[in-house]
């Protein structure tokens, strides 16, 4: 590389679920945990900038919310900004933070991902989710996110002759992983039969194919790689950044079964990382619906088109398989507080690559990939992490 790189030296995570905490409390909990996790400590006054990834769900402080991060994180006066790319908000916030360090402008930067979704009614919730899709055509015709992903799933099962059991197996696996994660919203396994017999939400997707409605926050502390050893003996390096976009509306795209934003982001990230797909120990992918995990595995280049279902059915993507996917339970079981998800994925990379993931530890994890998607694929980030 030769260029300055960013490294994570601390990370914090609240439980994901239906929580009593206010948004301010969630920020504070995640940030306090991140500072507490820095092995040799990091002074709050050393943090020069913060990025908040949040959709601003339910209308809490819809504008200028980043200022609240400076207040709650105890970094008064520091530059703060909010990055909003729907469900990929904190994937992009992490990207911005890394760029700030790579540019040489900053030496220590805080990333916070946040969403508080359970303090509003279900009709308002549909509104807030709706505004992250194409409002001009998709929402006008009544299409929800489950509907959009339902269309993608139907097309995928048809085109590649994949059985619905492959989708169900994604849920079964991620619930099994979530049962090992004390921060997960759902910590109990489900059977394939239960997934297949759950009420349909948008055929072929049923209730257990969908991620839940979650409150939560995650925080990351990034420093310049050269300085990282001052804070810990086991920093996690951001080895490659990738980002891409696509049309907002599904109807404008060439394919319903592949996300260009993901493919672009993956190519960029690997071009920069200096290692390839075979060296990746595990994936954190954006499984807002079970179909999304299969598409992600393919678009990220870990399976040919139509083949991710088979891999999943064979157990390759389970903990203990040859390429574990979503060891933390994924959005499906861990939960999906919109703006918190990208930071939560990086949190998982941090604890796994340091060998601190407990019951869900991926053995010998040295390189990880995190994949965060906005909307139905209008934006995506891919971030590669490695031990130094």
- Point out the residues that are catalytic: 87, 336
Residue number with CB closer to a copy of itself (100 or 167): 100
The answer to whether 100 contacts a copy of itself (rule: CB under 8 A) is yes
One of 67, 176, 179, 313 touching a copy of itself (CB under 8 A):
67
One of 9, 27, 47, 80 touching a copy of itself (CB under 8 A):
80
Candidates 168, 170, 91, 115; CA nearest to 329 is: 170
Q: Which stretch binds a copy of itself (CB under 8 A): 96-104, 189-197, 205-213, 297-305?
A: 96-104
Residue number with CB closer to a copy of itself (60 or 275): 60
Residue number with CB closer to a copy of itself (268 or 307): 268
C-alpha distances in Å from residue 144, one per residue of 58, 124, 140, 180, 320: 17, 13, 10, 31, 35
Q: Which stretch binds a copy of itself (CB under 8 A): 94-102, 163-171, 326-334, 361-369?
A: 94-102
Please, which of residues 366-385 interact with a copy of itself by CB under 8 A? 374-375, 378-379
Candidates 27, 24, 6, 19; CA nearest to 340 is: 27
The size of the interface with a copy of itself (CB under 8 A), counted in residues, is 61
Dihedral angle over CA of 36, 38, 39, 40, nearest 10: -100
The answer to whether 117 contacts a copy of itself (rule: CB under 8 A) is no
Spell out, one character per residue from 14 to 53, where the chain touches a copy of itself: x when CB under 8 A holds, - when not: -----------------------------------x----
Helix axes 290-299, 260-273, angle to 10 degrees: 50
d(CA 62, CA 47) in angstroms, rounded, equals 25
276, two tokens = 């390839």
The answer to whether 84 contacts a copy of itself (rule: CB under 8 A) is yes
C-alpha distances in Å from residue 309, one per residue of 146, 253, 282, 313, 314: 20, 23, 17, 6, 9
The bridge status of strand 236-245 relative to strand 6-13 is antiparallel
Kindly tell me the burial class for residue 62, based on how many C-beta atoms sit within 10 Å of its own C-beta (0-12, 13-18, 19 or more). Answer: exposed
C-alpha distances in Å from residue 120, one per residue of 59, 127, 128, 215, 272: 9, 11, 10, 11, 42
173-207 burial, b at 16+ Cβ within 10 Å, e below that, comes to bbbbbbbbbebbbbbebbeeebbbebeebbebbbe
Shortest Cβ 4–a copy of itself spacing (Å): 8
One of 44, 192, 230, 260 touching a copy of itself (CB under 8 A):
260
The answer to whether 264 contacts a copy of itself (rule: CB under 8 A) is yes
Spell out, one character per residue from 232 to 251, where the chain touches a copy of itself: x when CB under 8 A holds, - when not: ---------x-xxxxxx---
66, two tokens = 């980043």
Residue number with CB closer to a copy of itself (125 or 194): 125
Q: Which stretch binds a copy of itself (CB under 8 A): 25-33, 71-79, 189-197, 306-314?
A: 71-79
In this structure, the number of other CB atoms found within 10 A of the CB of residue 19 comes to 21
Shortest Cβ 134–a copy of itself spacing (Å): 8
Please, which of residues 129-168 interact with a copy of itself by CB under 8 A? 131-133, 135-136
Please, which of residues 290-329 interact with a copy of itself by CB under 8 A? none
d(CA 300, CA 159) in angstroms, rounded, equals 19
The answer to whether 156 touches 94, Cβ cutoff 8 Å, is no
The answer to whether 265 contacts a copy of itself (rule: CB under 8 A) is yes
Shortest Cβ 141–a copy of itself spacing (Å): 16
d(CA 107, CA 101) in angstroms, rounded, equals 6
Which residues make up the interface to a copy of itself (CB under 8 A)? 3-4, 49, 55-56, 59-64, 66-68, 70-71, 76-86, 92, 95-96, 98-100, 102-105, 128, 131-133, 135-136, 241, 243-248, 252, 260-261, 264-265, 268, 272, 374-375, 378-379
């Amino acid at each position: 590389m030769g260029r300055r790189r960013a490294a994570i030296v601390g990370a914090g995570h609240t439980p994901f679920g239906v929580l009593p905490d206010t948004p301010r409390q969630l920020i504070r909990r995640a940030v306090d945990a991140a500072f507490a996790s820095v092995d040799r400590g990091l002074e709050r006054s050393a943090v020069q900038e913060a990025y908040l990834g949040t959709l601003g769900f339910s209308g809490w402080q819809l504008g200028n919310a980043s200022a609240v991060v400076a207040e709650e994180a105890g970094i008064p006066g520091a530059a703060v900004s909010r990055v909003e790319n729907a469900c990929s908000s904190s994937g992009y916030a992490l990207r911005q933070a890394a760029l700030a360090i790579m540019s040489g402008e900053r030496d220590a930067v805080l990333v916070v991902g946040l969403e508080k979704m359970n303090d509003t009614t279900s009709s308002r919730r549909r509104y807030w989710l709706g505004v992250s899709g194409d409002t001009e055509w998709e929402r006008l015709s009544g299409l929800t996110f489950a509907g959009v992903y339902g269309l993608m799933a139907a097309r995928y099962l048809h085109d590649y002759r994949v059985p619905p059991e492959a989708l169900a197996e994604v849920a079964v696996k991620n619930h099994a992983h979530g049962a090992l994660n004390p921060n997960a919203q759902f910590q109990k396994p489900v059977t394939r039969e239960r997934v297949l017999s759950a009420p349909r939400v948008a055929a072929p997707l049923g209730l257990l194919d969908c991620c839940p409605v979650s409150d939560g926050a995650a925080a990351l502390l990034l420093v310049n790689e050269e300085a990282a050893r001052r804070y810990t003996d086991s920093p996690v390096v951001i080895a490659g950044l990738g980002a891409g976009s696509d049309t907002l509306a599904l109807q404008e795209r060439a394919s319903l079964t592949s996300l260009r934003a993901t493919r672009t982001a993956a190519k960029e990230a690997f071009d920069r990382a200096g290692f390839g797909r075979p060296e990746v120990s595990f994936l954190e992918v954006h499984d807002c619906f079970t179909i999304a995990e299969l598409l992600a595995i393919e678009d990220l280049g870990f399976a040919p088109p139509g083949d991710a279902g088979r891999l999943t059915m064979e157990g390759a993507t389970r903990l203990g398989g040859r390429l574990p996917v979503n060891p933390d339970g994924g959005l499906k079981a861990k939960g999906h507080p919109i703006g918190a998800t990208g930071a939560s994925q990086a949190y998982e990379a941090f604890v796994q690559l340091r060998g601190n993931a407990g019951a869900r530890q991926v053995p010998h994890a040295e390189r990880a990939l995190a994949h965060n998607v906005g909307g139905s694929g209008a934006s995506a980030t891919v971030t590669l992490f490695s031990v130094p």
